[in-house]
Amino acid sequence: MLGEIENVLSVREPRILRDLALLDVDRCQAMAPVIRKLCSRSFASDQHSLVKATSFVSEIAPLLVAPESRAIFMFAGARSYIETILAGENSVRELHALHEYRLRRMQGRLDPIETAASSDAHLAAMAWACEMTALEAAAEAMPDRPILWLDFDAYLAAPRERMAAAASHLGVVVSEEEAQGIADGPLMRRYSKAPEHEYSPELRLELQVEARQRHGAAIESALRMLKEASRTAPLLARALERDAGRL
Per-residue pLDDT of 21-37, as tens digits, reads 999 999 999 999 999 99
The pLDDT assigned to 87 comes to: 94
Residue at 95 is within a domain: yes
Residue at 141 is within a domain: yes
The pLDDT assigned to 79 comes to: 97
pLDDT in tens, 91-106: 999 999 999 999 999 9
pLDDT exceeds 80 at position 246? no
Q: Do 240 and 111 meet the contact criterion of CB atoms below 8 Å apart?
A: no
Query: Global pTM?
Result: 0.92
The pLDDT assigned to 193 comes to: 75
Q: What is the mean pLDDT of residues 70-96?
A: 95
The pLDDT assigned to 222 comes to: 95
Mean pLDDT, all residues of the chain = 92
pLDDT exceeds 60 at position 234? yes
Reported confidence tier of residue 194, pLDDT bands at 50, 70, 90: confident
Instruction: Specify which residues 50 forms β-bridges with.
Output: 10
Q: How many domains does the chain have?
A: 1
Residue at 38 is within a domain: no
pLDDT in tens, 109-153: 887 665 455 799 999 999 999 999 999 999 999 999 999 999 999
Residue at 85 is within a domain: yes
Residue at 33 is within a domain: no
Its domain, for residue 82, covers 69-242
Residue at 42 is within a domain: no
